[in-house]
Amino acid sequence: MTLRSPPLSEAHEAADARFTDFGGWEMPVEFTSIREEHAAVRSSAGKFDVSHMGQITVSGSDAAALTQRLTTNDVTALDYGEAQYGAITDEDGVMLDDVVVYRLPETEHDDFLFVPNAGHDGEMTERWEDHREEWGLDAAVTNRTTEYAMIAVQGPDAPELLAERTNVNLGEMDRFDIGGGAVAEVSSLIARTGYTGERGFEVLCPSGSAAAVWNAIECQPCGLGARDTLRLEMGFLLSGQDFDPEDEPRNPYEAGIGWTVKLDTEFVGRDALEGVEAQGVSEKLVGLELIDRGVPRQGYEVESPDGDSLGHVTSGTMSPTLGEPIALAYLPVEYSDPDQSVRVVVRGEPKKARTRTPPFLDR
Using CB atoms within 10 Å of the CB of residue 249, give its burial: 0 to 12 exposed, 13 to 18 middle, 19+ buried.
middle
CA–CA distance, 263 with 73 (Å, rounded to integer): 9
Q: What does 13-49 look like in DSSP terms, one character per residue?
A: HHTT-EEEEETTEEEEEESS-HHHHHHHHHHS-EEEE
Nearest partner of 235 among 303, 293, 285, judged by Cα: 285
| Pair 88, 267: CB distance under 8 Å | no
Nearest partner of 113 among 138, 83, 72, 70, judged by Cα: 83
CB within 8 Å of 297: residues ≥ 6 apart: 313, 316, 346
3-state helix, strand, coil split of the chain in percent (to 5) is 25, 35, 45
Task: Find out whether 202 is annotated in a ligand binding site.
Answer: yes
Using CB atoms within 10 Å of the CB of residue 109, give its burial: 0 to 12 exposed, 13 to 18 middle, 19+ buried.
exposed
Beta strands 46-49 and 220-222 are parallel
| Pair 226, 18: CB distance under 8 Å | no
CA–CA distance, 360 with 350 (Å, rounded to integer): 22
Known binding-site residue numbers for substrate: 202
